[in-house]
Chains A and B, each alone.
Chain A
């Protein structure tokens, strides 16, 4: 069992966070700016990378759960830092330490499949839809496909 320090070191290595030059291109490309009203340095990719490098406690930080794990920051980084991979590794570390309050688990298989702030955003965008749609959206995509198979085939 690796401890947290090793995991963060592993996350830094896998994402190449050490070579970040803080240019802010990832922040410019990040869709979170459009998604959340309270988008700030606390949750922006640059902020998370900085926190990780400085050694702040990021694993229990709620701000790592706002990310959608998209490719925008990774694609645009001049240094090849993958903020997506960094967030993923940090989330994995958090799930390993049973900090599960921010991850939504599937009703069928019990797997953590989406971060709650991200799902809140999706639900807010779909607020005009009838409420029973959301029962389906509570299930993780692979399980949704399985249920679709059982219901229709």
Chain B
């Protein structure tokens, strides 16, 4: 007879609630309330601690508060450490008695009935936000006063604000509109416009195509170069705005990405962002050797732009490159743009002269508790590991396609566009 296990575990007594996703969440993420702390306004007076402690005990005793004001007298810096109600709280799995639960409203609560005040949640929290009361030995943690925080009302300098985040993510709508409009314009209205477009004295040309043209023909046509400069100047002024907002193939990729939300990932040897510069060099060199624009015949942007309307069989066969490259989307988002696109490579090289940058962590970033920017980034250049460590990631603007999804998504307004010469993040403090 097989030996039976009669022991009861916590899972049998109090099973964890299954993670449910509401139907509406597939279209619109839930907006939870949260407290934003502004370090530059805080004077370190400790009013938040005092009012918070009256909720935990009968008296005013800052040590038994759920918020801790840390002061650096030398630098004159103050910071009040609050529970940030992480999206994936580390304290939750660490609790041995399973007293911590994340509610439907996004508030992480400690159930006093089950809490044994062991302090393991403080051990697991990267900001050490749950605080052990030295008197009563209880653990105090912010529960946002169940949606009406006292500390926010009491702060004399308005360093704490209570918000629900953005209601409308307008950049998203603007970008999709821009992408759709440019797709229709470039592909259907002005056929073949991306590669070369001319009305009167106005010329626009694809910079990669122009490079190949120069290589294949061996002659530099000033009109061609100057028309190619238009896109490069846009890139210098505003980063690779073209890739995120205009590129018709990028639009196709974004649509395909919406259809295939599950990603299988690529092996690491494929994932070199330098590959696209290699493709560019190969395209230019090949054009020089063979005497025609090698890459332009298979360029997905070009084939899309040239394909519409009544075409020969050969032209239509060219179009097969579009679904072939769009299928790369099943591995990673914008795989083609990340690793292979030579148009992006030219723009990336131009972006070395950029005037603007995107910064994340302008003091207000909640780092490990959120990490939504790294999730939404289509080219995956936001370092989630840095954010988890509590550092501001540096964004390589040569890779950034300026889709501004991070800026749109950040509930704390920590992701921003800044000029290149502006100092926007506090100095990196290593342990």
A residues neighboring B (CB under 8 Å): 29, 31-32, 34-35, 68-72, 84, 107-108, 114, 118-119, 121-122, 125-126, 128-130, 132-133, 135-137, 139, 141-142, 144-153
Contact = CB atoms under 8 A, between A and B. Distances in A.
B363 to A, nearest CB: 6
Nearest to A68: B118
B118 A153 contact: no
Contacts of B368: 133, 136
A122 B94 contact: yes
B126 A136 contact: yes
Contact of A137 (B126, B428, B429): B126
Residue in A128, A139, A147 whose Cβ sees the most chain B Cβ within 10 Å: A147
A34 B123 contact: no
Given A68-B119, A135-B389, A148-B79, A122 B124 contact: yes
Contacts of A69: 118-119
Contacts of B388: 130, 132-133, 136
Interface string B156-184: 00000000000000000000000000000
B390 interface: yes
A68 B96 contact: yes
Contact of B116 (A29, A141, A145): A29
B431 interface: yes
B128 A144 contact: yes
Contacts, number: 131
Interface string B128-144: 10000000011000000
B275 interface: no
B385 interface: yes
What is the predominant secondary structure among interface residues of chain A facing chain B?
A: helix
Given A122-B124, A152-B363, A153-B79, 6 more contacts: A70-B116, A71-B118, A142-B128, A145-B79, A149-B72, A151-B426
Contacts of B125: 141
B190 to A, nearest CB: 47
B354 interface: no
Interface string B66-96: 0010111001011101000000001001101
Interface string B102-116: 000000000000001
Contacts of B352: none
A31 B96 CA distance: 6
Interface of B: 9-10, 39, 42, 68, 70-72, 75, 77-79, 81, 90, 93-94, 96-97, 116-120, 122-128, 137-138, 363, 365, 367-368, 384-385, 388-391, 426, 428-429, 431
Contacts of A149: 70-72, 77-79, 81
Nearest to A140: B128
B117 A119 contact: no
B385 A132 contact: yes
Contacts of B90: 126, 129, 133
A136 B389 contact: yes
Given A34-B97, A126-B94, A147-B431, A137 B77 contact: no
Nearest to A71: B117
Contact of A31 (B9, B97, B363): B97
Given A31-B116, A69-B119, A137-B124, A148 B385 contact: no
A153 B94 contact: no
18 contacts: A32-B96, A34-B96, A35-B96, A68-B96, A68-B118, A69-B119, A122-B120, A126-B93, A129-B90, A137-B124, A137-B126, A145-B68, A145-B127, A145-B128, A147-B429, A149-B78, A151-B391, A153-B363
A125 B378 CA distance: 31
B128 A141 contact: yes
A107 B430 CA distance: 12
Contact of A70 (B118, B124, B126): B118
Contacts of A145: 68, 70, 79, 81, 127-128
Shortest Cβ-Cβ A-B pairs, 9 listed: A70-B118, A141-B128, A68-B118, A153-B77, A72-B116, A70-B116, A153-B39, A31-B96, A149-B79
